[in-house]
Structure 1
Protein backbone atom coordinates (compact mmCIF):
# COMPACT_ATOMS: atom_id res chain seq x y z
CA UNK A 1 0.00 0.00 0.00
CA UNK A 2 1.29 3.44 -0.91
CA UNK A 3 1.29 6.33 1.59
CA UNK A 4 -1.98 8.25 1.64
CA UNK A 5 -2.35 11.93 2.51
CA UNK A 6 -5.59 12.97 4.22
CA UNK A 7 -6.19 16.72 4.46
CA UNK A 8 -8.47 18.59 6.84
CA UNK A 9 -8.86 22.30 7.57
CA UNK A 10 -7.48 23.57 10.89
CA UNK A 11 -8.39 27.29 11.14
CA UNK A 12 -6.95 27.81 14.63
CA UNK A 13 -3.41 26.54 13.98
CA UNK A 14 -0.99 28.90 15.80
CA UNK A 15 2.16 30.40 14.29
CA UNK A 16 5.11 28.04 14.64
CA UNK A 17 7.85 30.62 14.13
CA UNK A 18 8.39 34.23 15.18
CA UNK A 19 10.78 34.67 12.20
CA UNK A 20 8.02 34.10 9.61
CA UNK A 21 7.76 37.77 8.51
CA UNK A 22 11.54 38.06 8.36
CA UNK A 23 11.57 35.27 5.76
CA UNK A 24 9.36 37.37 3.49
CA UNK A 25 11.73 40.34 3.59
CA UNK A 26 14.75 38.07 3.11
CA UNK A 27 13.22 36.45 0.05
CA UNK A 28 12.45 39.71 -1.76
CA UNK A 29 15.96 40.98 -1.04
CA UNK A 30 17.31 37.84 -2.70
CA UNK A 31 15.16 38.46 -5.77
CA UNK A 32 16.27 42.07 -6.03
CA UNK A 33 19.90 41.00 -6.21
CA UNK A 34 19.38 38.42 -8.96
CA UNK A 35 20.19 39.61 -12.48
CA UNK A 36 20.37 36.21 -14.21
CA UNK A 37 18.11 36.15 -17.27
CA UNK A 38 18.22 32.36 -17.82
CA UNK A 39 17.68 32.66 -21.57
CA UNK A 40 21.15 31.54 -22.65
CA UNK A 41 20.92 28.43 -20.48
CA UNK A 42 17.68 27.40 -22.18
CA UNK A 43 19.15 27.98 -25.65
CA UNK A 44 22.31 25.94 -25.10
CA UNK A 45 22.82 22.67 -26.95
CA UNK A 46 21.11 19.84 -25.11
CA UNK A 47 24.17 17.62 -25.22
CA UNK A 48 24.08 13.83 -24.92
CA UNK A 49 20.77 12.12 -24.23
CA UNK A 50 20.72 9.72 -21.27
CA UNK A 51 18.12 7.14 -20.15
CA UNK A 52 15.64 8.64 -17.71
CA UNK A 53 16.46 5.75 -15.37
CA UNK A 54 19.88 7.39 -14.99
CA UNK A 55 18.17 10.53 -13.75
CA UNK A 56 16.02 8.55 -11.32
CA UNK A 57 19.06 6.64 -10.08
CA UNK A 58 20.94 9.89 -9.39
CA UNK A 59 18.00 11.37 -7.46
CA UNK A 60 17.35 8.13 -5.54
CA UNK A 61 20.99 7.89 -4.53
CA UNK A 62 20.99 11.52 -3.38
CA UNK A 63 17.75 11.33 -1.35
CA UNK A 64 18.68 8.02 0.27
CA UNK A 65 16.18 5.53 1.65
CA UNK A 66 12.65 6.24 0.41
CA UNK A 67 10.83 5.35 3.62
CA UNK A 68 8.55 7.93 5.29
CA UNK A 69 8.43 5.88 8.50
CA UNK A 70 11.80 7.58 9.14
CA UNK A 71 9.96 10.88 9.71
CA UNK A 72 10.46 12.06 13.31
CA UNK A 73 8.04 13.75 15.69
CA UNK A 74 8.88 17.47 15.92
CA UNK A 75 10.58 17.49 12.52
CA UNK A 76 9.94 21.04 11.32
CA UNK A 77 10.83 23.07 8.27
CA UNK A 78 9.90 26.20 6.35
CA UNK A 79 10.12 26.25 2.55
CA UNK A 80 9.60 29.07 0.08
CA UNK A 81 8.33 28.67 -3.47
CA UNK A 82 8.74 31.38 -6.08
CA UNK A 83 7.55 31.59 -9.67
CA UNK A 84 8.77 34.48 -11.76
CA UNK A 85 9.50 35.74 -15.25
CA UNK A 86 13.24 36.29 -15.42
CA UNK A 87 12.97 39.26 -17.83
CA UNK A 88 10.02 40.99 -16.20
CA UNK A 89 8.45 42.06 -12.94
CA UNK A 90 5.78 39.37 -12.58
CA UNK A 91 6.37 36.98 -9.70
CA UNK A 92 4.46 34.98 -7.11
CA UNK A 93 5.77 33.79 -3.79
CA UNK A 94 4.57 31.43 -1.07
CA UNK A 95 5.81 30.11 2.28
CA UNK A 96 4.95 26.70 3.67
CA UNK A 97 5.60 25.83 7.32
CA UNK A 98 5.34 22.14 8.28
CA UNK A 99 5.48 20.49 11.70
CA UNK A 100 5.30 16.75 12.46
CA UNK A 101 2.86 16.68 15.37
CA UNK A 102 2.63 12.98 16.20
CA UNK A 103 3.51 9.49 15.04
CA UNK A 104 1.64 6.38 16.09
CA UNK A 105 1.33 2.72 15.16
CA UNK A 106 -2.11 1.18 14.73
CA UNK A 107 -3.36 -1.94 12.92
CA UNK A 108 -0.02 -2.61 11.21
CA UNK A 109 0.16 0.97 9.96
CA UNK A 110 2.26 4.00 10.80
CA UNK A 111 0.16 7.16 11.10
CA UNK A 112 1.97 10.51 10.95
CA UNK A 113 0.05 13.72 11.67
CA UNK A 114 1.29 16.98 10.17
CA UNK A 115 0.29 20.59 10.77
CA UNK A 116 0.88 23.07 7.97
CA UNK A 117 0.52 26.76 7.33
CA UNK A 118 0.77 28.13 3.80
CA UNK A 119 0.83 31.82 2.89
CA UNK A 120 0.70 32.94 -0.75
CA UNK A 121 1.87 36.40 -1.80
CA UNK A 122 0.83 37.73 -5.22
CA UNK A 123 2.60 40.36 -7.33
CA UNK A 124 -0.24 42.84 -6.70
CA UNK A 125 0.50 42.82 -2.95
CA UNK A 126 -2.43 40.59 -1.93
CA UNK A 127 -1.95 37.43 0.11
CA UNK A 128 -3.93 34.44 1.35
CA UNK A 129 -3.23 32.15 4.30
CA UNK A 130 -4.36 28.57 4.82
CA UNK A 131 -3.96 26.43 7.94
CA UNK A 132 -4.57 22.70 7.63
CA UNK A 133 -3.49 19.25 8.79
CA UNK A 134 -2.36 16.20 6.84
CA UNK A 135 -2.34 12.58 7.87
CA UNK A 136 0.19 10.27 6.26
CA UNK A 137 -0.85 6.61 6.52
CA UNK A 138 1.80 3.99 5.71
CA UNK A 139 1.70 0.20 5.84
CA UNK A 140 4.38 -1.20 8.15
CA UNK A 141 7.34 -3.05 6.58
CA UNK A 142 7.24 -1.00 3.37
CA UNK A 143 9.13 -2.24 0.33
CA UNK A 144 11.56 -0.12 -1.65
CA UNK A 145 9.13 -0.16 -4.59
CA UNK A 146 6.48 1.55 -2.45
CA UNK A 147 8.68 4.60 -2.07
CA UNK A 148 10.84 4.58 -5.21
CA UNK A 149 11.19 7.91 -6.98
CA UNK A 150 9.64 6.76 -10.25
CA UNK A 151 9.40 9.05 -13.25
CA UNK A 152 7.72 12.42 -12.81
CA UNK A 153 8.26 16.04 -13.89
CA UNK A 154 11.47 17.54 -12.52
CA UNK A 155 9.44 20.41 -11.02
CA UNK A 156 8.07 17.91 -8.48
CA UNK A 157 9.90 17.01 -5.27
CA UNK A 158 11.30 13.48 -5.88
CA UNK A 159 10.07 12.40 -2.44
CA UNK A 160 6.51 12.75 -3.74
CA UNK A 161 4.79 10.20 -5.98
CA UNK A 162 3.45 12.17 -8.92
CA UNK A 163 3.24 10.57 -12.34
CA UNK A 164 3.26 12.05 -15.81
CA UNK A 165 -0.03 11.84 -17.76
CA UNK A 166 -0.51 8.90 -20.09
CA UNK A 167 0.93 9.61 -23.53
CA UNK A 168 3.61 12.02 -22.33
CA UNK A 169 7.13 11.36 -23.57
CA UNK A 170 10.29 12.54 -21.83
CA UNK A 171 13.89 12.75 -22.92
CA UNK A 172 16.71 13.52 -20.45
CA UNK A 173 19.97 15.20 -21.43
CA UNK A 174 23.35 16.08 -19.97
CA UNK A 175 22.94 14.95 -16.38
CA UNK A 176 25.57 16.22 -13.93
CA UNK A 177 26.02 15.28 -10.27
CA UNK A 178 28.44 16.72 -7.72
CA UNK A 179 28.95 16.75 -3.94
CA UNK A 180 29.97 19.49 -1.54
CA UNK A 181 30.28 20.22 2.18
CA UNK A 182 28.84 23.61 3.10
CA UNK A 183 26.95 25.42 5.89
CA UNK A 184 23.20 24.77 6.25
CA UNK A 185 20.63 27.43 5.26
CA UNK A 186 21.32 30.79 6.94
CA UNK A 187 18.45 30.63 9.44
CA UNK A 188 19.44 27.09 10.48
CA UNK A 189 23.06 28.14 11.03
CA UNK A 190 21.92 31.10 13.15
CA UNK A 191 19.76 29.00 15.49
CA UNK A 192 21.28 28.08 18.90
CA UNK A 193 21.39 24.34 18.07
CA UNK A 194 21.97 24.66 14.31
CA UNK A 195 18.68 22.82 13.74
CA UNK A 196 20.06 19.73 15.49
CA UNK A 197 23.17 19.43 13.30
CA UNK A 198 26.51 18.68 14.95
CA UNK A 199 28.84 19.89 13.52
CA UNK A 200 26.98 22.79 11.90
CA UNK A 201 27.61 21.80 8.29
CA UNK A 202 25.93 19.60 5.68
CA UNK A 203 26.89 17.18 2.93
CA UNK A 204 25.07 18.21 -0.25
CA UNK A 205 24.47 16.43 -3.54
CA UNK A 206 23.78 18.69 -6.53
CA UNK A 207 22.01 17.15 -9.52
CA UNK A 208 21.46 19.06 -12.77
CA UNK A 209 19.99 18.01 -16.13
CA UNK A 210 17.73 19.07 -18.99
CA UNK A 211 14.41 17.53 -19.99
CA UNK A 212 12.27 17.63 -23.11
CA UNK A 213 8.63 16.87 -22.30
CA UNK A 214 6.34 16.11 -25.26
CA UNK A 215 2.59 15.95 -24.75
CA UNK A 216 -0.34 16.42 -27.14
CA UNK A 217 1.85 17.65 -29.99
CA UNK A 218 3.77 20.24 -27.95
CA UNK A 219 7.33 20.03 -26.61
CA UNK A 220 8.69 21.99 -23.64
CA UNK A 221 12.30 22.17 -22.47
CA UNK A 222 13.11 22.29 -18.76
CA UNK A 223 16.42 23.05 -17.08
CA UNK A 224 16.33 21.25 -13.71
CA UNK A 225 18.46 21.65 -10.58
CA UNK A 226 18.28 19.83 -7.24
CA UNK A 227 20.22 20.38 -4.01
CA UNK A 228 19.75 17.46 -1.60
CA UNK A 229 21.06 16.48 1.83
CA UNK A 230 20.22 13.42 3.90
CA UNK A 231 21.15 15.33 7.06
CA UNK A 232 17.98 17.45 6.88
CA UNK A 233 14.63 16.21 8.27
CA UNK A 234 13.10 13.56 5.99
CA UNK A 235 10.50 15.86 4.42
CA UNK A 236 13.11 18.61 3.92
CA UNK A 237 15.90 16.52 2.34
CA UNK A 238 15.34 18.18 -1.04
CA UNK A 239 16.65 21.56 0.07
CA UNK A 240 16.25 23.18 -3.35
CA UNK A 241 14.37 22.22 -6.50
CA UNK A 242 14.49 24.73 -9.38
CA UNK A 243 13.22 24.47 -12.94
CA UNK A 244 13.64 27.00 -15.77
CA UNK A 245 11.50 26.98 -18.90
CA UNK A 246 10.20 29.28 -21.64
CA UNK A 247 6.76 30.91 -21.45
CA UNK A 248 5.05 32.14 -24.63
CA UNK A 249 3.28 35.47 -24.06
CA UNK A 250 0.44 37.08 -26.04
CA UNK A 251 2.63 38.66 -28.75
CA UNK A 252 4.28 35.31 -29.46
CA UNK A 253 7.58 36.07 -27.74
CA UNK A 254 9.15 33.46 -25.47
CA UNK A 255 10.31 34.67 -22.06
CA UNK A 256 12.32 32.55 -19.60
CA UNK A 257 10.59 31.72 -16.33
CA UNK A 258 11.74 29.96 -13.19
CA UNK A 259 10.03 28.10 -10.37
CA UNK A 260 12.06 27.31 -7.24
CA UNK A 261 11.24 25.66 -3.93
CA UNK A 262 13.91 26.09 -1.25
CA UNK A 263 14.04 25.02 2.40
CA UNK A 264 15.07 28.10 4.38
CA UNK A 265 14.84 26.78 7.94
CA UNK A 266 14.49 23.42 9.68
CA UNK A 267 14.78 21.55 12.97
CA UNK A 268 15.48 17.84 13.33
CA UNK A 269 12.90 16.10 15.52
CA UNK A 270 13.09 13.44 18.22
CA UNK A 271 14.48 9.98 17.48
CA UNK A 272 11.96 7.14 17.90
Structure 2
Protein backbone atom coordinates (compact mmCIF):
# COMPACT_ATOMS: atom_id res chain seq x y z
CA UNK A 1 0.00 0.00 0.00
CA UNK A 2 1.15 3.53 -0.76
CA UNK A 3 -0.33 6.88 0.24
CA UNK A 4 1.04 10.29 -0.71
CA UNK A 5 -0.23 13.70 0.33
CA UNK A 6 -0.05 16.20 -2.51
CA UNK A 7 0.44 19.37 -0.50
CA UNK A 8 2.48 18.39 2.56
CA UNK A 9 6.26 18.78 2.69
CA UNK A 10 8.33 16.19 0.83
CA UNK A 11 12.01 15.39 0.49
CA UNK A 12 11.55 15.10 -3.26
CA UNK A 13 10.11 17.45 -5.83
CA UNK A 14 6.57 17.04 -7.14
CA UNK A 15 5.35 16.08 -10.60
CA UNK A 16 2.50 18.35 -11.75
CA UNK A 17 0.27 17.18 -14.59
CA UNK A 18 -0.86 20.35 -16.34
CA UNK A 19 -3.62 20.30 -19.00
CA UNK A 20 -3.28 22.81 -21.82
CA UNK A 21 -6.00 24.29 -24.08
CA UNK A 22 -7.30 22.10 -26.93
CA UNK A 23 -7.67 25.14 -29.18
CA UNK A 24 -8.87 28.20 -27.30
CA UNK A 25 -6.16 29.82 -25.17
CA UNK A 26 -8.82 31.35 -22.93
CA UNK A 27 -9.40 27.86 -21.52
CA UNK A 28 -6.05 27.96 -19.71
CA UNK A 29 -6.77 28.04 -15.97
CA UNK A 30 -5.25 30.50 -13.48
CA UNK A 31 -3.84 27.57 -11.54
CA UNK A 32 -2.20 26.06 -14.64
CA UNK A 33 -0.48 29.38 -15.44
CA UNK A 34 0.65 29.78 -11.83
CA UNK A 35 2.01 26.23 -11.74
CA UNK A 36 3.96 26.61 -14.98
CA UNK A 37 5.50 29.81 -13.64
CA UNK A 38 6.50 28.29 -10.30
CA UNK A 39 7.94 24.89 -11.23
CA UNK A 40 11.63 24.41 -11.94
CA UNK A 41 11.16 22.64 -15.27
CA UNK A 42 8.45 21.93 -17.86
CA UNK A 43 8.51 18.53 -19.60
CA UNK A 44 6.73 19.26 -22.88
CA UNK A 45 5.61 16.99 -25.72
CA UNK A 46 6.74 19.57 -28.29
CA UNK A 47 8.83 22.41 -26.84
CA UNK A 48 8.21 24.62 -29.88
CA UNK A 49 4.46 24.28 -29.55
CA UNK A 50 4.51 24.78 -25.78
CA UNK A 51 6.77 27.82 -26.16
CA UNK A 52 3.97 29.60 -28.00
CA UNK A 53 1.73 28.99 -24.99
CA UNK A 54 4.43 30.15 -22.58
CA UNK A 55 5.04 33.30 -24.59
CA UNK A 56 1.34 34.14 -24.61
CA UNK A 57 1.15 33.97 -20.81
CA UNK A 58 4.62 35.45 -20.22
CA UNK A 59 6.04 32.30 -18.65
CA UNK A 60 9.82 31.99 -18.69
CA UNK A 61 10.27 28.54 -17.11
CA UNK A 62 12.83 26.31 -18.81
CA UNK A 63 11.58 23.41 -20.94
CA UNK A 64 12.80 19.90 -21.73
CA UNK A 65 11.31 17.66 -24.42
CA UNK A 66 9.36 14.57 -23.35
CA UNK A 67 7.54 12.65 -26.06
CA UNK A 68 6.83 9.10 -27.23
CA UNK A 69 10.17 8.79 -29.03
CA UNK A 70 12.45 9.68 -26.10
CA UNK A 71 10.48 8.20 -23.19
CA UNK A 72 13.04 5.53 -22.36
CA UNK A 73 15.82 8.10 -22.10
CA UNK A 74 13.87 10.88 -20.41
CA UNK A 75 12.01 9.05 -17.63
CA UNK A 76 15.14 8.13 -15.58
CA UNK A 77 16.53 11.63 -16.16
CA UNK A 78 13.32 13.34 -14.97
CA UNK A 79 12.93 11.00 -11.99
CA UNK A 80 16.46 11.87 -10.87
CA UNK A 81 15.65 15.57 -11.06
CA UNK A 82 12.49 15.00 -8.99
CA UNK A 83 14.48 13.03 -6.40
CA UNK A 84 16.97 15.91 -6.26
CA UNK A 85 14.13 18.19 -5.21
CA UNK A 86 13.17 19.86 -8.49
CA UNK A 87 9.48 20.37 -9.27
CA UNK A 88 8.41 19.43 -12.80
CA UNK A 89 5.27 20.23 -14.78
CA UNK A 90 4.42 17.72 -17.49
CA UNK A 91 2.20 18.84 -20.36
CA UNK A 92 1.22 17.65 -23.82
CA UNK A 93 0.43 19.73 -26.88
CA UNK A 94 -3.28 19.88 -26.06
CA UNK A 95 -5.54 18.56 -23.32
CA UNK A 96 -4.55 16.28 -20.48
CA UNK A 97 -1.23 14.44 -20.30
CA UNK A 98 -1.51 10.63 -20.64
CA UNK A 99 -4.90 10.76 -22.43
CA UNK A 100 -3.92 9.75 -26.00
CA UNK A 101 -0.72 11.70 -25.28
CA UNK A 102 2.64 11.07 -23.55
CA UNK A 103 2.74 11.00 -19.77
CA UNK A 104 1.74 7.64 -18.34
CA UNK A 105 5.28 6.24 -18.20
CA UNK A 106 6.56 9.20 -16.18
CA UNK A 107 3.58 9.06 -13.84
CA UNK A 108 4.06 5.32 -13.25
CA UNK A 109 7.77 5.82 -12.52
CA UNK A 110 7.07 8.69 -10.12
CA UNK A 111 4.42 6.67 -8.26
CA UNK A 112 6.82 3.73 -7.98
CA UNK A 113 9.41 6.03 -6.37
CA UNK A 114 6.90 7.59 -3.97
CA UNK A 115 7.14 10.98 -5.65
CA UNK A 116 3.97 13.10 -5.33
CA UNK A 117 1.97 13.30 -8.56
CA UNK A 118 -0.37 16.30 -8.56
CA UNK A 119 -3.02 16.48 -11.33
CA UNK A 120 -4.59 19.77 -12.36
CA UNK A 121 -8.09 19.79 -13.91
CA UNK A 122 -8.51 21.26 -17.35
CA UNK A 123 -9.44 20.84 -20.98
CA UNK A 124 -10.24 17.40 -22.39
CA UNK A 125 -11.61 16.92 -25.91
CA UNK A 126 -13.46 13.67 -25.21
CA UNK A 127 -15.54 14.97 -22.30
CA UNK A 128 -16.08 18.32 -23.99
CA UNK A 129 -17.61 16.54 -26.98
CA UNK A 130 -19.57 14.09 -24.84
CA UNK A 131 -21.51 16.66 -22.83
CA UNK A 132 -22.63 18.46 -26.01
CA UNK A 133 -23.34 15.32 -28.05
CA UNK A 134 -26.94 14.82 -27.03
CA UNK A 135 -26.23 11.13 -26.44
CA UNK A 136 -26.39 9.49 -23.01
CA UNK A 137 -23.36 10.96 -21.17
CA UNK A 138 -22.90 8.23 -18.60
CA UNK A 139 -21.75 5.61 -18.33
CA UNK A 140 -19.27 6.17 -21.13
CA UNK A 141 -16.33 4.24 -22.53
CA UNK A 142 -13.23 6.14 -23.64
CA UNK A 143 -11.16 4.44 -26.34
CA UNK A 144 -9.19 7.21 -28.03
CA UNK A 145 -7.45 6.46 -31.35
CA UNK A 146 -8.18 3.19 -33.12
CA UNK A 147 -5.38 1.34 -34.90
CA UNK A 148 -4.73 2.64 -38.42
CA UNK A 149 -4.99 -0.80 -40.04
CA UNK A 150 -8.46 -1.92 -41.13
CA UNK A 151 -8.41 -5.42 -39.67
CA UNK A 152 -7.12 -4.19 -36.33
CA UNK A 153 -9.94 -1.64 -36.30
CA UNK A 154 -12.47 -4.36 -37.04
CA UNK A 155 -11.10 -6.55 -34.26
CA UNK A 156 -11.28 -3.71 -31.72
CA UNK A 157 -14.77 -2.62 -32.76
CA UNK A 158 -16.08 -6.20 -32.69
CA UNK A 159 -15.20 -6.28 -29.00
CA UNK A 160 -17.08 -3.00 -28.47
CA UNK A 161 -20.20 -3.46 -30.59
CA UNK A 162 -22.33 -4.92 -27.78
CA UNK A 163 -21.32 -2.36 -25.14
CA UNK A 164 -24.20 -0.30 -23.78
CA UNK A 165 -22.03 2.70 -22.86
CA UNK A 166 -21.63 5.71 -25.11
CA UNK A 167 -18.17 5.39 -26.70
CA UNK A 168 -15.57 8.10 -27.33
CA UNK A 169 -12.98 7.91 -30.12
CA UNK A 170 -10.43 10.34 -31.55
CA UNK A 171 -9.56 10.52 -35.24
CA UNK A 172 -7.45 12.56 -37.65
CA UNK A 173 -9.20 14.15 -40.65
CA UNK A 174 -7.41 12.09 -43.32
CA UNK A 175 -8.53 8.82 -41.68
CA UNK A 176 -12.05 9.85 -40.70
CA UNK A 177 -14.01 8.43 -43.65
CA UNK A 178 -12.32 5.02 -43.48
CA UNK A 179 -12.84 4.80 -39.74
CA UNK A 180 -16.53 5.71 -40.04
CA UNK A 181 -16.95 3.11 -42.79
CA UNK A 182 -15.39 0.45 -40.57
CA UNK A 183 -17.70 1.46 -37.72
CA UNK A 184 -20.70 1.07 -40.05
CA UNK A 185 -19.38 -2.33 -41.10
CA UNK A 186 -19.17 -3.56 -37.49
CA UNK A 187 -21.76 -1.54 -35.55
CA UNK A 188 -24.32 -1.32 -38.35
CA UNK A 189 -24.95 1.77 -40.42
CA UNK A 190 -27.96 2.84 -38.35
CA UNK A 191 -25.96 3.36 -35.14
CA UNK A 192 -26.25 6.95 -33.91
CA UNK A 193 -23.04 8.97 -33.93
CA UNK A 194 -21.91 12.53 -33.27
CA UNK A 195 -18.82 14.10 -34.82
CA UNK A 196 -17.32 17.00 -32.87
CA UNK A 197 -14.89 18.98 -35.03
CA UNK A 198 -12.37 21.65 -34.04
CA UNK A 199 -13.58 21.85 -30.44
CA UNK A 200 -13.24 25.28 -28.75
CA UNK A 201 -11.91 26.80 -31.99
CA UNK A 202 -13.53 29.24 -34.41
CA UNK A 203 -14.91 26.51 -36.68
CA UNK A 204 -16.24 24.26 -33.92
CA UNK A 205 -18.98 22.09 -35.37
CA UNK A 206 -21.18 19.12 -34.39
CA UNK A 207 -22.59 16.68 -36.95
CA UNK A 208 -25.27 14.30 -35.66
CA UNK A 209 -26.98 11.36 -37.35
CA UNK A 210 -26.61 7.69 -38.19
CA UNK A 211 -23.33 6.33 -39.50
CA UNK A 212 -25.01 5.89 -42.89
CA UNK A 213 -26.16 9.53 -42.99
CA UNK A 214 -22.81 10.92 -41.95
CA UNK A 215 -20.90 8.68 -44.38
CA UNK A 216 -23.20 9.85 -47.16
CA UNK A 217 -22.57 13.50 -46.23
CA UNK A 218 -18.80 13.07 -46.11
CA UNK A 219 -18.82 11.31 -49.47
CA UNK A 220 -19.16 14.76 -51.05
CA UNK A 221 -17.47 16.88 -48.36
CA UNK A 222 -13.91 17.15 -47.13
CA UNK A 223 -13.04 16.35 -43.53
CA UNK A 224 -11.02 19.17 -41.96
CA UNK A 225 -9.69 19.56 -38.44
CA UNK A 226 -9.38 17.18 -35.51
CA UNK A 227 -12.38 15.01 -34.68
CA UNK A 228 -13.94 13.40 -31.63
CA UNK A 229 -16.34 10.60 -32.58
CA UNK A 230 -19.11 9.90 -30.06
CA UNK A 231 -20.92 6.62 -30.76
CA UNK A 232 -24.18 5.61 -29.08
CA UNK A 233 -24.09 2.41 -27.07
CA UNK A 234 -25.97 -0.75 -28.02
CA UNK A 235 -29.33 -0.67 -26.20
CA UNK A 236 -30.32 -4.28 -26.92
CA UNK A 237 -27.22 -6.29 -27.86
CA UNK A 238 -28.58 -9.74 -27.01
CA UNK A 239 -31.91 -9.11 -28.75
CA UNK A 240 -30.23 -7.78 -31.89
CA UNK A 241 -27.81 -10.69 -32.15
CA UNK A 242 -30.57 -13.24 -31.54
CA UNK A 243 -32.92 -11.61 -34.05
CA UNK A 244 -30.21 -11.39 -36.70
CA UNK A 245 -28.88 -14.91 -36.20
CA UNK A 246 -32.36 -16.40 -36.71
CA UNK A 247 -32.61 -14.99 -40.23
CA UNK A 248 -31.41 -16.94 -43.29
CA UNK A 249 -27.95 -15.84 -44.39
CA UNK A 250 -29.23 -14.17 -47.57
CA UNK A 251 -31.72 -12.13 -45.55
CA UNK A 252 -28.99 -11.12 -43.12
CA UNK A 253 -27.00 -9.80 -46.07
CA UNK A 254 -30.04 -7.94 -47.43
CA UNK A 255 -30.67 -6.41 -44.01
CA UNK A 256 -27.05 -5.24 -43.78
CA UNK A 257 -27.32 -3.69 -47.26
CA UNK A 258 -30.42 -1.77 -46.15
CA UNK A 259 -28.35 -0.13 -43.42
CA UNK A 260 -26.14 1.44 -46.08
CA UNK A 261 -23.35 -1.11 -46.63
CA UNK A 262 -22.27 -2.23 -50.08
CA UNK A 263 -23.08 -5.82 -51.08
CA UNK A 264 -19.49 -6.96 -50.60
CA UNK A 265 -19.19 -5.21 -47.23
CA UNK A 266 -22.50 -6.75 -46.12
CA UNK A 267 -21.36 -10.25 -47.17
CA UNK A 268 -18.08 -9.79 -45.33
CA UNK A 269 -19.86 -8.65 -42.17
CA UNK A 270 -22.46 -11.45 -42.17
CA UNK A 271 -19.80 -14.08 -42.87
CA UNK A 272 -17.77 -12.85 -39.89
CA UNK A 273 -20.84 -12.78 -37.62
CA UNK A 274 -21.74 -16.35 -38.56
CA UNK A 275 -18.18 -17.69 -38.52
CA UNK A 276 -18.19 -18.85 -42.12
CA UNK A 277 -15.86 -18.10 -45.03
CA UNK A 278 -16.65 -14.98 -46.99
CA UNK A 279 -16.15 -16.77 -50.31
CA UNK A 280 -18.73 -19.42 -49.40
CA UNK A 281 -21.32 -16.83 -48.49
CA UNK A 282 -20.53 -14.82 -51.62
CA UNK A 283 -21.24 -17.85 -53.81
CA UNK A 284 -24.38 -18.72 -51.85
CA UNK A 285 -25.75 -15.17 -51.94
CA UNK A 286 -25.13 -14.75 -55.68
CA UNK A 287 -26.23 -18.35 -56.35
CA UNK A 288 -22.99 -19.21 -58.13
In the superposition, the TM-score normalised over structure 2's length comes to 0.21
Greater helix percent: which structure? 2
In the superposition, the TM-score normalised over structure 1's length comes to 0.22
Q: Which has the higher contact order (CA 8 A, sep 6+)?
A: 1
